[in-house]
Amino acid sequence: METTLLEPSKWEQFQAGWELFRDPILCALIAGCVLGFLSVYVVLRRMVFVSAAVTNTAGLGVALAFFAEIHLGVHVDPLIGAVVLSVAATLLLMVEPARLRLSRESLLGCAFAFAGGAAILVGDRIAQEAHDIQGILFGTAVLVTPDQLQAVAVAGAVLMVLHLWWFRGIAFVSFDRVGATVQGLPVKMLDTVLMVSIGIMVGVCARALGALPVFAFSTLSAIAALVLDLRLPWTFFTATVLGGIAGAGGYLFAYFYDFPVGGSQTVLSGVLVLLMMLVRLVQVPFKRRA
């Protein structure tokens, strides 16, 4: 008499392996929330391509760290490589491009193209870490190490406390620079804090999750929230929640339907934008009646 063994369902496998999946889900949730919060500054200040350039630079930093260890015998933590280069890129992009007879768009285009191309070239010379490089550039990594989760959690917690503490000042400088200057606020210092915060969080998250989903969290979360035309504090809150949904929800979607993680998180971020657009279309007639 033949017996057939039923394979456990995806949900049963997920429950059995929860300890394995817990860290990447938490990491994606934290990264999505913090980058979602910062994305409001990125979008409203028209720095979308700054985010793109910085995420590419973070990927280059990781690739260079692997290259240094394999070919030069110098150990550099890939996390350090990602953070150092991403912060350096944000500071470089703060330079007034008019001094170089360039437009800001030209400078951003150069940074984006150079960092992306260089990451691919360096990755070609470190075949031993090709899988890691692929994961960093496109977010194909499924697992997250405890060290990566800890780095994302610590960086996220510190930056969120700082930004909530200085929220009024940073928001004032970001959206009314002239008024902030007149009021005597340290405009350059607060600007630097914001840009370095973006660089640190992008670098840490790109090492853990990949450049593609990090770019999505740091742009599409705010776009989705801004569609609803809420007051500024609620816009930040909504972008934070939507970023977390895209991060954790994208991972779950990728697991249950066998898709790449980074692509799933990125597409879900885009789907949330479309959903918020539908909500907005439904809201408009009711607002007119009111």
pLDDT of residue 1: 44
pLDDT tens figures, 136-193: 666 566 678 889 999 999 999 999 999 999 999 999 998 888 888 888 889 899 999 9
Task: Say what the pTM is.
Answer: 0.88
CA distance linking residue 25 with residue 22, whole number of Å:
5
Query: CATH assignment of 21-282?
Result: 1.10.3470.10
Of 11 and 228, the one with more pLDDT = 228
pLDDT-derived band at 285 (thresholds 50, 70, 90) equals: low
Q: Judge whether residue 243 has pLDDT over 70.
A: yes
Query: How is 141-184 classified by DSSP, letter by letter?
Result: -----HHHHHHHHHHHHHHHHHHHHTHHHHHHHHH-HHHHHHTT
Mean pLDDT of the residues in the chain? 86
Quick check: 2 pLDDT over 50?
no
Tokens 């933590």, located at residue: 77
Tell me the residue type at 249.
G
pLDDT for position 34: 97
- Phi then psi for residue 277, to 5 deg, are -65, -40
Residue boundaries of the structural domains of the chain = 21-282
Q: Is the distance from CB of 237 to CB of 56 less than 8 angstroms? A: no
pLDDT in tens, 72-109: 888 888 888 888 999 988 888 777 767 767 777 788 88
Of the candidates 213, 32, 209, 59, which has an alpha carbon nearest to the alpha carbon of residue 126? 59
Task: Answer whether 253's CB lies under 8 Å from 264's CB.
Answer: yes
